[in-house]
Chains A and B, each alone.
Chain A
């Protein structure tokens, strides 16, 4: 018996077909019904039409990929990852998640300092004094330009706003 070669296109096609069916099944509950005014719909067209078309597209293009491009040789290989590559990407994503979490609570300058300092060190080959300097100067400069020159809001340091004259610097 011939074994099935699990290619990225095969997986993509199956996900697409399942997602198409999922959208179709969710249409009754996930699409709000239009109000009835004097017995007539307030929407001129049926709001289920577009979601229906999209679910059909996922389904049909999934089938197309399954039947015609499943074994496509040119652009159908799994990416090769070494353990180190995977670790680097995962660690960076964790750093980014942490940055998103602390962005507002610690303020832009402090959270950015932490990200620059730790990520630069993680990536290696940095001069500790230099990277500390960059991690301070760069966020303060960006904050200063955004807040004082472009008048755009960025979260300030929550415990103590730091100012030089009229200018908010942290």
Chain B
């Protein structure tokens, strides 16, 4: 692993791509900032739409491009949250508690700088933790065989389904739906056709890309179109005239940033929990340890630093299960998984042993992205604060064009546009009925690997799988036995964390 790590430097610096990488990360950050700054449009949607573009780049260029969009989008969401009390993304809802009061006091610039510095510091620190952790975990992952992999994948989709938002029953039905959609086409073991209903287009299975764009981008577009609002927000802000964050103010925030970084990094490693919960837990922890908790919600800089550091610290650690085991922890990492697969890099134990230097080079790109994020974020802040005023009637049709072009270019098949439309309408209905699509997407993505590993296990076990597991694969047996306990514990913990978020939101609504 150490060799792979050291080999990643020449790969990154000597490839002749270095300037291109810097350029695409910067471009990705700007796209992310732009979309994130638009209330109603999320980072997830931006990533789904630009995903196909990354397919036509070198992996060491395309994936950092998506990472740029990801990082830019999470911070971009805090811009309207602070300035106009409209969270650009779910991760910045907790930022709306203290951001708008600070803006009313004429401290909008100060609040945005607090958000930027906290985000960058937390993100950078958690990325270093990710780089340090990924090697040892990958070494352990290399020891696992098909039975252990099947057990881990099964455990993962159960955890993701039980820790996703909404009702357990609905999440489990979504899980079954994801497995069913993945089943359409051919089985991964003997390539036998199944559930194609004699429709030719279904023989190759349901394509991942139109499904991802359909489920993540089209529902948001339709929700934005429900009301023909003339523009996102009307605001007259001039950040250039406002005072900046002082060094003394920044030093006072260091404990809060550190605490939230630890919270975000830890939450990032739990599949299915994500940035939104991390931000609320970070905020609650900062409020509880403050000497002046009564100032929270009325314009406290710590109230900005805490959620922003926590939600950005989630970014790196979510990649640990993805890269070592091939398990995406949330929807954004599911999109990144799609990018890895399209580039011929199948995340999992073999990826780290066979192409570890590329993985480490991508992780190093995350550190570069943080530095660029600091520079670009600082100088473009006044510009992106104007984005909230862009008219929806211009923006929505342009977003649709990108979604359709992106779905088409991968296979050049017009049928993919109908898949896109179908999943878009399906996703919209699910969203209106408060279904979380995360279990569906995760199950769809993980199902082929799970089924393959499951089939191999049955084959290895011959006539008596149970005895085989107990006698020759005790770790796999142990994972299977402990699956209900682990799932239940994580379900309770995630419920508790969500309750913190709900109670904070409702108390904030009451006080305002």
Contact = CB atoms under 8 A, between A and B. Distances in A.
Contact of A99 (B167, B172, B189, B400): B400
Contacts of B391: 125-126
**Chief secondary structure at chain B's binding surface:** helix
A142 interface: yes
A64 B169 CA distance: 6
B409 A154 contact: yes
Contact of A115 (B172, B197, B397, B408): B397
A93 B223 CA distance: 12
Interface string A132-144: 0010001100100
Contacts of A65: 167, 169-170, 173
Contacts of A116: 397-398, 401
Interface string B411-422: 010100110110
A50 B170 contact: no
A89 B226 contact: yes
A93 B400 CA distance: 11
B401 A138 contact: yes
B190 interface: yes
Contacts of B401: 112, 115-116, 138-139, 142
Given A30-B196, A124-B228, A16 B173 contact: yes
A43 B192 CA distance: 9
B56 A123 contact: no
A125 B176 contact: no
B225 interface: yes
A72 B169 CA distance: 11
B176 A54 contact: yes
A75 B432 CA distance: 11
Nearest to B184: A30
A92 B169 contact: no
Interface stretch (B277-285, B331-339, B451-459): B451-459
B225 A92 contact: yes
**Chain B: number of interface residues, binned into ranges:** 35 or more
Interface string A77-96: 11100001100110011001
A38 to B, nearest CB: 16
Interface string B375-386: 000000000000
Interface string A52-71: 00100110011011001100
A108 B180 CA distance: 33
Nearest to B218: A96
B276 to A, nearest CB: 16
B345 interface: no
Contacts of B296: none
Interface in B395-451: 396-398, 400-402, 404-405, 408-409, 412, 414, 417-418, 420-421, 424-425, 428, 432-434, 451
A125 B396 CA distance: 13
**Chain A: number of interface residues, binned into ranges:** 35 or more
A154 to B, nearest CB: 6
Contacts of A112: 401
B397 A120 contact: yes
Nearest to B418: A100
Contacts of A78: 433
Contacts of A12: 169-170, 173, 433
Given A79-B433, A115-B397, A123-B396, A146 B405 contact: yes
A23 B180 contact: yes
Nearest to B193: A32
Contact of B392 (A8, A50, A123, A142): A123
Residue of B172, B197, B231 with most partner-chain A CB within 10 A:
B172
Given A97-B421, A115-B401, A152 B170 contact: no
B249 to A, nearest CB: 40
Nearest to B450: A50
A88 B228 contact: yes
A154 B408 contact: yes
Contacts of B230: 124-125
B172 A88 contact: no
B139 interface: no
Interface in A1-50: 8-9, 12-13, 16, 20, 23, 26, 30-34, 42-45, 47, 49-50
B169 A9 contact: yes
Contact of A88 (B226, B398, B425): B226
A103 B433 CA distance: 31
A116 to B, nearest CB: 4
B222 A13 contact: no
B262 to A, nearest CB: 31
A115 B195 CA distance: 35
B345 to A, nearest CB: 20
B194 interface: yes
Contacts of A16: 173, 176
A119 interface: yes
A127 B87 CA distance: 28
A115 B397 CA distance: 7
Contact of A61 (B56, B169, B226): B169
Contacts of A115: 397, 400-401
A131 interface: yes
B412 A153 contact: yes
B20 interface: no
Contacts of A103: 404, 408, 414, 417
A54 B169 contact: no
8 contacts: A32-B193, A34-B190, A50-B183, A75-B166, A75-B170, A88-B227, A88-B228, A119-B397
4 interchain residue pairs of minimum CB distance: A65-B169, A43-B190, A123-B393, A57-B176
Given A45-B458, A88-B225, A96-B400, 17 more contacts: A8-B434, A12-B170, A23-B180, A31-B192, A58-B176, A58-B180, A64-B172, A84-B228, A89-B222, A92-B221, A99-B417, A100-B421, A103-B417, A123-B397, A125-B393, A131-B393, A138-B401
